[in-house]
Structure 1
C-alpha cells in the first residue's frame, strides 16, 4: 500500500512550492476497505458531483428479505472487489445508509453488452476486471485501467460537472454505456421514471426520478461528447409492456431521439484509433435539463481535461492549506486525508444561477448565499460543523441559511434532521440542527442579530413539534416512555442536550425567558437516570423503570447505536452534574475506565447485522458517534491525564494511512473532524458552548490560517509517541490553568504551546 501511495505522490502536479503541495498527503483510498464507506473517485470541495467507480450492484432484497451486503456498498466501492461496473455521478461519503449512484457511465469495446453481469462471472456483462496496481486516487482525480477492454479511464470534476477521459484501443466497436437502471440502495422499484433526449450527435439531456431513501427525488443531466457518435440505442427493462399507444409505431431501440421508461440503458457507438481519447462532460442540476446545460457550459466550456484537473486540485490545495502542520509522514497522511473527507459534505445544491428544488418540491433561488444539502446532522453536529466555525465560518453560515430555507419550505415547520436533494429522510434521533445553529450563535458566526433570532425561533418551533418522535411525551413528562419509542432513552438524552443548546443561544441573544424554559428542559436527562443501578435506563409511562434491562444490550433497550453503558455518559452539556450522579470522581472515573478496558460478549455483535468489531475498543465504540466526546470527560475529573492517554491511543488504533484505515463509517466527515480536532489538541465536547476541551496533540506544530486574516498556532515541546502526557500548557506565553480554550482565543490568533512528557 505504501508503494501505491508513493506512485500517487509522484503523479501529482507541481504547485507553487513542494512545501505548499499538501495534495501529496491526501489518499482517498483510506477508508474504502471494510466499513469506512468512503468513495475513491473525483469530487471538488463540497461539490454537487461525486464521480466515482462502483464495484458492484447489490440488490436490496434477496428472496424477499433484506440483503445485508447492501450495507457494505453505501459508497458503491469496496477495496477488496476485483471488478468495476462503471462510474456514477452521485455518492454519499462515509454514511451508514445507501442511496444515489445516479447516471452510471461505462466505456467498453467489442460485443455490446447491456447488463452489468455478476462479479463471479465478470465477462457475463459490461463490467471489467481491474487492478489496484493501475489505479490512482487523488483529490479531484481518479484513474484506472479497465483490463477487459484495455481502456484507461480518468475522471475529474468541477462543482457541478463530471469530466471523463477514456483512452481507447483501436476498435470499430467502441461503446459508452449510460446506465439509468443502476443505483446504490438498488431495488427494482427505485426508479419512478427516466427520460432521455438525444439533441444531436454530441449532446444528450434527460432526468431520473427515484424513490429510494429519499422518497421524491429528481436529478437532471446534460451530457456532451468530444467526438460525435455514429449510432446509439436503448434497451428498456420495465416489467410492464415497454411501449404504449402510438409510440409503438416507432422502432425505439435504435437511433430514436427520445426515450422514456422506468428502467433504461443506452449506448453510444464510436470508431476509435489506438490511443484515442474520447471525452465526455456530464453536468447535474436539481431543477431542469436547461439548468444542467447552463452548469456544463459555465463550469467547463472547453475540452482541456488537464486544465480542469489542475484547477480542481488547486481548489483542494487552497482548502487544505487552511491548516499547515509539522508531523511524521503517517500523521500527515491521516490529517490531510481527514481534512479532505471533512470538506466533501455538505454538498452544494443549486445551479450556477442559484436555482434549486426545495423541500416543498417547488423551484427556488438562493438569494445571497450558497444553498447546501446532505445534512447528516446526528453525526456532523458533534465536530464537523464546529470545525467549520473555525476554518469555514462563511460556508457554515450559508449552511445554516440552507437549513432555514428547509425549515421555511417544510410542511412540518421543522429544521432538517437528515436532509438531501429536497427530501427529509428523518434518520436518527434528536433535532441536532439546533446544535449547529446554537454553536454558530455562541461563537458569533451569524450574519446579524436579526438572522440569529430568526434561527432561534426556528429552533424553538422544531423543539415543540409534539408529533415528532415522542416529543409530546418528552414535553409533558420530561422523558419518553419506553413503550412509546424503541429509542426512548437515546432520544430523551439527545433532546435534553439540544434544549441546552437552545438555552445557550437564547442567553447569547438576551432572550432570558427562553433561556429559563430550556435550561430546565436541559435537565431532563436526570429523568432516565436510575440511581439504583447507576445507568440511564428505559422508563415506563407510569414512572417506573423497565424491569427487563441489560446494560450491554443494544436492541430493544431504548438506545440507538449504543447501549446503556455508552449512553450513560451522554450528557455533554453538564459533565459536572453527570459526575455527581455517579457519586463523584472515583466512581465516575472507574466507569470511564471500564468503558475502554472491558471485553464485550459475543451477543453484542450478534444482535444486528450492522455491528462489526470495527471501531470498538473495549465497550468504547468510536465508529458510533455518541461516544466521540467520552474520552474528554476525564478533563472534568481529578485525572485529566487519562484524556491525554486515551485520545492518543484512539488516534493510533482507529486511523491509519491504509485502505482499512477508518475504524467505522466516516459519516459525512464526522470521524475525520474528530481526528483533526484531536490531532490539534482540543475538541468541542458540547457544541453550543464556546469552549474546547484540551487533549494531547499528535502534531509537532500546526498553523490555522483563519478567514479573518489571523493565525492561531499550536506547538508542542518534546513531542513523541511515548510523550502523550501534557506537563503544562501556555497560551500566548502565559500559563493556562484550565483544561479548555475558548473560541475567541482561537479566532484572535496567538500561540498555544503544549509541553509533553512520558509521565503523567
Structure 2
C-alpha cells in the first residue's frame, strides 16, 4: 500500500521546466551594507520533528539546562515539544535534534502546589507536578518562564553548571528533585536505573549518582547541588515513592526523589546551582567552582556575551528577515555540540569504561551524531572553528584507541550506542587531515586497521555484516538487515580509511582499502539503474520496486537505512565519476537525478518518519540525500544544482517551531542550510573541496582560519535570480564550479554574479569538481 507522504511540501513536478521554475519567496530587499547579526530564534525546531530544545547551554557545553515538557515518545527526544503546553520541570542534560532520546538528568520542579511525586499527564497537568506556563522567553545562555503556580523560573549556565533562579509569591512552596526522571519510549515503560543515591551533606550540598540503562546502556551521571536558602524541611523518597524516616540525610535504591520545603518561599528568590560529572560526585562538586557565590545575573551576562561572540562568526545582508533569523538560529544549533564530557580536573569516562585524565589543553566530548554530522557539521567546524575541529579530532582519536569497537559510530556519555551504520568517525578524521588539522592520526590506526581487516573484531549494531562484506564484496539481504545501505556506507568508510592509511604511510593497506571502496557497485544494478538488494547466492531481489523499503515486509527488516531504493541509489559520495560511468554516462546519470527529483512523492505505509521533506523522492528531512542536489555539477549541469539548492533553502526551513523539516540531528540540518546559503557544499568532505551552488544572501562575511575573513558577494541576487552567471575569486575570473578549502581558509572574496536564466558557468569538463580516484 503506497500513500502520499504527509510531510510532502511541494506539489507537482519538482524540476518541470527547471529553467523557469523558481522559488516562490516574497521578495524583501534589504541594505547591501553589512548588518548586525539577527538574533536567533531558539524555538526553531522545537515543534514538528526538529527535536531541539530552547533552554540554556554554552557553546559545546556539558550542561543543557532546559524545561522538560515530556519524557516519552519520539517527539520527546529532546525533552521539549512546543505543542505540549505544560512543563514537568527543568533538567540539566538534553540531546539536540536526535531521533532517539536519552539524558534529562536531575529534574528540578519548583512549585507552590501540594507535593506530588508523579508528573501527571499532558491532558491533565494537575494530576501530577506538571504545570502550565506562560511568558516563555529564550535567548542564547538564558531562559525564563512563568509557571501557573506563580513561580517565575530563570535558567542560565556555565560550561558544567546549571544555575536556576526561582521567584515565588509570598507563602509556602517547595522544590522537588526527581532523580527517576529520564527519557522513555512509552508511558508504561520504566527506564532501568541502578546504583542510585541521594545525600545531603553537612554543608547543605545535595549530591546524587545513578546509572541509567537507556540508549547509552549503563552511563553514569553525578551531580552536586547547592541552594542559596536553606530549606526548612527535607524529605527523601525511596523506591515506589516510599518516604524515608524524617531527619534522614539520604537514600539509596533505584528510583529516588527529594523534596525541599520552604515555609515562606517568597521571602527572597531561591537560587540553585548544579554541577554535573560523568566520573564522580567530586567531579560534580568541582564544577561548582565555575559559579562562585550567588551571582545569577553575572553568570547570565557572561553566557550571553560568550554566545554573542560565537554567533558573530557569520554576518549576512540580503535575503528576507525570516531567512536571516533562520541562519542565526541554524548557526546557534551547530555550536551546541558535540558536548563537553571532561571535568575541570581533566578526568572523563572513556569508551573502555575506565577513568582517564587529559592534559591541561585537552578536552573530551560526547554526543557525536557521526552518521549525520560528518556531512556538513564537521566541515563547517573545520571552516569557522578549526580550533574546535582540532579538539574533536584529538578526542575521536582517543575514543578510537579506547573503544572495544574501534572507530566510534555514535558515542554518548562514555558508551558506544552503535546507532546507524558504519564508523564514520574515520570520515571526520580523513577530512580533518585533508584540511590541515594537526593530530596524531597514526595513534588511531591500529584500531582502525582492526575494523578494516579483522572480521572477528568486536561488532556493534553499526558494523554488522563485515564478514560478508569482506568475503563477497557486499552484504547479502537474506543475512543482514539494511544490507544495501551498509554495503555503500562501508565502502565510503573504506575510502576514508584509505586516505588515512596514505597519510601515515601505510601504502599497502591504502591500496587494498581503495580497491574495496568500489564495493558500492555490487549493490547498484546497472541494468535497472537502482540500488537493489542482493542475496548470498548473487541473485538480485525481484520484482523490484524502488519506493519500498526492501524485500521483507517486516518493519524492522529493511534493506536500506532510513531510505528506500530511490534514496539509497545516490549514497555514493566518493566515486561519483565511477558511479556516472556505471549508470551509463553523463546524459543517463543526469536523467536519473532528474527522475529522482521528479518522481511521485509517495512512500509505503511502513516508512519511518525520518523520510520527510520530499521533492519527488528526494527527502531533505534525512541525511542520506543531502549531497544529491550538488551532483548535477559532475555532469555539466550546475544550473540545476543552483535552482534546486535555492529552492531547498527557501522551502525546507522556516522561522517557526516547525522550521526544520526533519530532526536537526545535532546540527546537521542546520549546517546544510548555512553552507548552502553561502553558496558551496562539501559533497565528499574527505577531498577538501566544496562544490559551488547558489548563495542565498547578498553578502556574507565569516571568520575563517586564524583571524581571516571570507567574504561572499552575490551581485544581482534576488529570489528570481538563482543562477550563477560568473564567479570571481579575489577579483580574478574563476571558471571552476568548485573551490578548495585550502583557498578559502586563508580568507578572501568569492563573488558570484547572479541572473534569472541559466548559464554555462562551470559546465565544461575541465571545470567540474574532482572526485576521489579509484584503485
Q: TM-score, normalised by structure 2?
A: 0.89
Residue 483 of structure 1 aligns to a residue whose secondary structure is: coil
- Partners of 2:114 and 2:531 lie apart in 1 by 63
- Partners of 1:259 and 1:722 lie apart in 2 by 66
Residue 170 of structure 1 aligns to a residue whose secondary structure is: coil
Structure 2 residue 411 is matched with structure 1 residue 416: no
Partner of 2:111: 108
Q: Give the 5 Å matches for 1:84-99.
A: 84-99=87-102
Report the alpha carbon displacement of residue 407 of structure 1 after superposing the two structures with TM. Answer: 2.1
Asked if the contact 2:57–2:156 (Cα under 8 Å) also holds between the matched residues in 1, the reply is yes
Q: Give the 5 Å matches for 1:121-160.
A: 121-131=124-134, 134-147=135-148, 149-160=149-160
Asked if the contact 1:437–1:455 (Cα under 8 Å) also holds between the matched residues in 2, the reply is no
Greater shift in the superposed pair: 34-43 or 729-738: 729-738
Structure 2 residue 292 is matched with structure 1 residue 301: yes
Asked if the contact 2:601–2:615 (Cα under 8 Å) also holds between the matched residues in 1, the reply is no
Residue 142 of structure 1 aligns to a residue whose secondary structure is: strand
Asked if the contact 2:93–2:104 (Cα under 8 Å) also holds between the matched residues in 1, the reply is yes
Residue 630 of structure 2 aligns to a residue whose secondary structure is: helix
Pick from 384, 393, 405: which aligns with 1:400? 393
Residue 333 of structure 1 aligns to a residue whose secondary structure is: helix
Structure 2 stretches lacking a partner, 5+ long: 1-32, 553-557, 759-775
Report the alpha carbon displacement of residue 683 of structure 1 after superposing the two structures with TM. Answer: 0.5
Q: Residues 190 and 634 from structure 1, CA distance in 2 versus in 1: closer, same or farther, beyond 3 angstroms?
A: same
Q: Residues 52 and 357 from structure 1, CA distance in 2 versus in 1: closer, same or farther, beyond 3 angstroms?
A: same
Q: Give the 5 Å matches for 1:415-494.
A: 415-447=407-439, 451-467=440-456, 468=459, 469-494=464-489
Partner of 1:11: none
Partner of 1:180: 179
Partner of 1:643: 641
Asked if the contact 1:643–1:695 (Cα under 8 Å) also holds between the matched residues in 2, the reply is yes
Partner of 2:373: 380
Structure 2 residue 201 is matched with structure 1 residue 206: no
Greater shift in the superposed pair: 470-479 or 323-332: 323-332
Residue 649 of structure 1 aligns to a residue whose secondary structure is: helix
Report the alpha carbon displacement of residue 508 of structure 1 after superposing the two structures with TM. Answer: 4.1
Structure 2 residue 230 is matched with structure 1 residue 228: yes
Asked if the contact 1:163–1:280 (Cα under 8 Å) also holds between the matched residues in 2, the reply is yes
Deviations 1:98-140 (A, max 9, x none): 1111111010114222211112211111110113xx0001111
Partner of 2:724: 726
Partner of 2:74: 71
- Partners of 1:225 and 1:20 lie apart in 2 by 42
Q: Which has the higher contact order (CA 8 A, sep 6+)?
A: 2
Partner of 2:762: none
Report the alpha carbon displacement of residue 235 of structure 1 after superposing the two structures with TM. Answer: 2.2
Q: Residues 669 and 56 from structure 1, CA distance in 2 versus in 1: closer, same or farther, beyond 3 angstroms?
A: same
- Partners of 1:212 and 1:108 lie apart in 2 by 29
Report the alpha carbon displacement of residue 551 of structure 1 after superposing the two structures with TM. Answer: 0.8
Pick from 296, 299, 309: which aligns with 1:318? 309
Residue 417 of structure 1 aligns to a residue whose secondary structure is: coil
Pick from 514, 518, 524: which aligns with 1:523? 518
Asked if the contact 1:503–1:516 (Cα under 8 Å) also holds between the matched residues in 2, the reply is yes
Pick from 41, 55, 64: which aligns with 1:27? 41
Asked if the contact 2:137–2:145 (Cα under 8 Å) also holds between the matched residues in 1, the reply is yes
Partner of 2:55: 41
Q: Give the 5 Å matches for 1:232-243.
A: 232-238=234-240
Structure 2 residue 120 is matched with structure 1 residue 117: yes
Residue 476 of structure 1 aligns to a residue whose secondary structure is: helix
Partner of 1:272: 264
Q: Residues 372 and 20 from structure 1, CA distance in 2 versus in 1: closer, same or farther, beyond 3 angstroms?
A: farther
Asked if the contact 1:27–1:139 (Cα under 8 Å) also holds between the matched residues in 2, the reply is no
Q: Give the 5 Å matches for 1:475-514.
A: 475-514=470-509
Partner of 1:193: 195
Q: Residues 613 and 524 from structure 1, CA distance in 2 versus in 1: closer, same or farther, beyond 3 angstroms?
A: closer
Structure 1 stretches lacking a partner, 5+ long: 1-17, 59-69, 243-250
Deviations 1:293-325 (A, max 9, x none): 1111x2101211111111111111121112222
Partner of 1:167: 167
Deviations 1:3-53 (A, max 9, x none): xxxxxxxxxxxxxxx99964x521110000010000111110001111111
Report the alpha carbon displacement of residue 510 of structure 1 after superposing the two structures with TM. Answer: 4.6
- Partners of 2:689 and 2:507 lie apart in 1 by 21
Asked if the contact 2:40–2:329 (Cα under 8 Å) also holds between the matched residues in 1, the reply is yes
Partner of 2:86: 83
Q: Give the 5 Å matches for 1:293-372.
A: 293-296=285-288, 298-327=289-318, 328-367=320-359, 368-372=361-365
Residue 686 of structure 2 aligns to a residue whose secondary structure is: coil
Report the alpha carbon displacement of residue 201 of structure 1 after superposing the two structures with TM. Answer: 6.7
- 4+ residue segments displaced more than 4 Å: 18-21
Greater shift in the superposed pair: 488-497 or 267-276: 267-276
Residue 135 of structure 1 aligns to a residue whose secondary structure is: strand
Q: Residues 189 and 748 from structure 1, CA distance in 2 versus in 1: closer, same or farther, beyond 3 angstroms?
A: closer
Report the alpha carbon displacement of residue 591 of structure 1 after superposing the two structures with TM. Answer: 1.8
Q: Residues 739 and 510 from structure 1, CA distance in 2 versus in 1: closer, same or farther, beyond 3 angstroms?
A: farther
- Partners of 2:94 and 2:468 lie apart in 1 by 37
Partner of 2:16: none
- Partners of 1:342 and 1:193 lie apart in 2 by 35
- Partners of 1:227 and 1:465 lie apart in 2 by 59
Deviations 1:631-680 (A, max 9, x none): 00010112110000001111111111111000000001110110111011
Greater shift in the superposed pair: 502-511 or 347-356: 502-511
- Partners of 1:730 and 1:95 lie apart in 2 by 39
Q: TM-score, normalised by structure 1?
A: 0.90
Report the alpha carbon displacement of residue 330 of structure 1 after superposing the two structures with TM. Answer: 1.5
Report the alpha carbon displacement of residue 708 of structure 1 after superposing the two structures with TM. Answer: 1.5
Asked if the contact 1:32–1:659 (Cα under 8 Å) also holds between the matched residues in 2, the reply is yes
Residue 522 of structure 1 aligns to a residue whose secondary structure is: helix
Q: Give the 5 Å matches for 1:709-720.
A: 709-720=707-718
Structure 2 residue 284 is matched with structure 1 residue 289: no
- Partners of 1:727 and 1:19 lie apart in 2 by 23
Deviations 1:528-548 (A, max 9, x none): 121221111111111121235
- Partners of 2:284 and 2:417 lie apart in 1 by 25
Count of aligned pairs between the two proteins? 709
Residue 685 of structure 2 aligns to a residue whose secondary structure is: coil
Residue 216 of structure 1 aligns to a residue whose secondary structure is: strand
Structure 2 residue 735 is matched with structure 1 residue 742: no
Asked if the contact 1:389–1:396 (Cα under 8 Å) also holds between the matched residues in 2, the reply is yes
Greater shift in the superposed pair: 465-474 or 652-661: 465-474
Residue 108 of structure 2 aligns to a residue whose secondary structure is: strand
- Partners of 1:345 and 1:611 lie apart in 2 by 24
- Partners of 2:202 and 2:270 lie apart in 1 by 17
Q: Residues 614 and 130 from structure 1, CA distance in 2 versus in 1: closer, same or farther, beyond 3 angstroms?
A: farther
Report the alpha carbon displacement of residue 465 of structure 1 after superposing the two structures with TM. Answer: 4.1
Q: What RMSD over aligned residues (CA atoms) do the two structures have, in Å?
A: 1.8
Q: Give the 5 Å matches for 1:529-678.
A: 529-555=524-550, 556=552, 557-601=558-602, 604-608=603-607, 610-611=608-609, 614-678=612-676
Report the alpha carbon displacement of residue 431 of structure 1 after superposing the two structures with TM. Answer: 1.3
Report the alpha carbon displacement of residue 189 of structure 1 after superposing the two structures with TM. Answer: 4.0
- Partners of 1:406 and 1:338 lie apart in 2 by 28
Asked if the contact 2:184–2:190 (Cα under 8 Å) also holds between the matched residues in 1, the reply is no
Report the alpha carbon displacement of residue 212 of structure 1 after superposing the two structures with TM. Answer: 0.8
Asked if the contact 1:236–1:264 (Cα under 8 Å) also holds between the matched residues in 2, the reply is yes
- Partners of 1:659 and 1:595 lie apart in 2 by 29
